Chains A and B, each alone.
Chain A
Amino acid sequence: MEILEKKMERTAILNVNPLESEAIYIFREVAAQFEKPVLLFSGGKDSITLVRLAQKAFWPAKIPFPLLHIDTGHNFPETIEFRDRLAEELGVELIVRNVQDSIDQGKVVEEKGRYASRNSLQTTTLLDALEEFKFDAAIGGARRDEEKARAKERIFSVRDDFGQWDEKNQRPELFDHLNGKIDLGQNVRVFPISNWTELDVWSYIEKENIEIPSIYFAHKRKTFVRDGMIWSAEDDVVYRDENEEVEERLVRFRTVGDMSCTAAVLSDAVTIDKVVAEIRDSQISERGARIDDKRSEAAMEKRKQQGYF
């Protein structure tokens, strides 16, 4: 009887995952402090995690803001299919804006050469979309553990009319008192999972049994190797020299960005628990597989000053 009572007491208490609790708190602050927030959704694991946290924050009500996807046109088809299905299930509006349109309008110029990527071109399309819909808060899945410049990012990060990040003039963030007061024309980037690590995200996906696109799991893919990294050769998005040999390999993606800058890793992790175990043992950090950061040590900081996430 005593044992039973003890069990009752334990199981009846809502225990706290501090990271989850913090993220939900942030979502509710965004909904309350801003007039027109939007959730930036890429179909990647971080934004999928954001969606689950937003569901939790407002249940039983629907997520009170739309999803916005900046489509580079070079996304993995699996991700796009997943994105559309999730939005429909949630009953939430999905807005898609295309980098291709920004190129066609002559606002940005496509990069050329072996390392050409549309990743940095996204910024213009994103800023235009924020302007078009007058969104005053854009919620993103960036994490501080991803990269050194991101380690200094705030949870509510104020951007000027040009979307620029002024890293030397950031508002201090104290306790849970989040200051979302902004002037007309300014907007805020919000990062609810700032304090999560890659492993935290994967563990959460496992624990919550959240569905993610198939490319995160090991699959056979036509690939080629360059600079010690494995690239998808299944379509013509990634530039490939004729002498770069295509071979079928068992791979998965650790991060799902633009195809042109996201390398695969050799893996036989076909289930979520195997993926989590792989991440736990991993010796290469997640952004090591993102070629855009390797361009220069200060790559991320520079892109952020220009309005990138």
Chain B
Amino acid sequence: MEDSIDISGSLVNQYLSTINQNRMDVLKIATAGSVDDGKSTLIGRILYDTKSLTTDKLEAIETRSKANGFDYLDFSLATDGLVAEREQGITIDVAHIYFSTKTKSYIIADTPGHIEYTRNMVTGASTSQASIILVDARKGVIEQTYRHFFINNLLRVKDVIVAVNKMDLVDFSQEKYEAIKADFQNLIAKSEYKDQNITFIPVSALQGDNVVEKSEKTPWYSGQTLLEHLEELDAQDVYEKAQARFPIQTVIRPKKDEYHDFRGYAGKLYGGEFSVGDEVTVLPSLTTSRIKEIYFFDQKFETAGRGSSCTITLEDDVNVSRGDMIVKTSEKPQIEKQLTATVCWMDSKSLNPGTNYFIQNGSTRILAKVKSINGTITTDFSGEDTSKNELKLNEIGKVQIQLSKPLAFDSYKNNKASGSFILIDSQTNNTSGVGFIE
């Protein structure tokens, strides 16, 4: 034990000082809205007001705005990257936007809001802790809003911000805002995920009201601006708290004299912590051992925190390979050859019962057969259509899957990393769908 802790260890100290000083926390946010909700404008506004747009980018926006005949700065040009998008004036894929404040680094996954792009919204939300849903103050809560909220619910995004945009076009009317809020509350009542934090903010992205700067035009609103709210969210939750799961990516066996007998298991730790001495079980073989050492690069640590990409060694000489999972013996997940999941389909080729796919969870890839599809779930909270037994592109449904080998997994609501998977088409190799295990 003594040699495993080095209090003055330079790397440890560097990390602590980094987290406090240089390396800010990272908050990932997904944005969703309908075609004309002004989502890109909102993001452009955030970038502009946080002084994240550099001179040359700002100049490019000014030039394009003028060329398009606008008498204001078209901030949406800051994010709409692809040529096709500029031609059509819409966002068609997930774009990543980066900005930082004094306290945090932000990564925005900007996803399109039209009905046919459910897959992009799901993709963006899968790596985000927070989500901004835009509602047009003139239109109120519409079917699209239902869908956006549904996806945030399905993926259990912890913090949802409902930005009621274009308040300038309804004279900053409190009445309108409250009516939208009340409509949205009806949606929340239908949600099963009760721990979600939902915050309403009246904004005008175009004019900058309540985005970064507090607006004088909404004296009736006492809450925070959008950025103030984001600044208060805990970025440490980027890796959720759950039972510790350590899927093995690769076994490190250096062919060096110095480390002749070294056998390290490299992976990323999800959910909880691992400490030296912990009693662990290797899955699916169920072999038990204890953690001997925890390495990060050339330094040893007593404990590995959530989200760390570390390398561990075990006390016993056990057989561990890529695709295995190491867990604490007292916290075993399920190990089954079948599972039921809510699947969101992302391929133009439909999902049908009886077909084979590869199921991939992190470093595990297993051949699987779709046993049955028990109807589709409407994304507007109106319920299920149990008559359907296939899933088309952008449809969501309950699917039963038979696996060719046992898989260690959790329910998605308990652990996002070990409770989700992708389905890979064995012919095209496409990522065809994503599943959330029951």
Contacts and interface: CB of A to CB of B under 8 A. Distances in A.
A60 B262 contact: yes
Interface in A9-32: 10-22, 24-25, 28-29, 31-32
Contacts of B238: 18
A14 B310 contact: yes
Interface string A148-175: 1101100000000000000110111111
Contacts of B22: 203, 206-207, 276
Interface in A49-93: 55-62
A16 B82 contact: no
A175 B18 contact: no
Nearest to B420: A175
A172 B303 contact: no
Given A14-B296, A175-B126, A175-B420, A29 B249 contact: yes
A1 interface: no
Interface in B5-44: 5, 7, 9, 12-16, 18-19, 22-23, 26
A282 to B, nearest CB: 7
A206 to B, nearest CB: 7
Given A28-B309, A31-B250, A172 B431 contact: yes
Contacts of B266: 28, 57-58
Contacts, number: 209
Interface stretch (A111-119, A128-136, A193-201): A193-201
A177 B309 contact: no
A297 interface: yes
Interface in A248-284: 276, 282-284
Contacts of A200: 105
A29 B364 CA distance: 11
Nearest to B422: A177
Nearest to A20: B309
B273 to A, nearest CB: 8
Chain B interface extent, by class: 35 or more
Contacts of A179: 360, 422, 424, 429, 431
Interface string B79-123: 111111000000011111110100001010000000000011011
B60 interface: yes
A62 B80 CA distance: 41
Given A177-B420, A283-B55, A288-B54, A32 B363 contact: yes
A144 interface: yes
From A11, A151, A174, A199, residue with most partner B Cβ within 10 Å? A174
Chain A to chain B: the 6 pairs with minimum beta-carbon distance, closest first: A148-B81, A12-B302, A24-B309, A61-B254, A288-B56, A285-B54
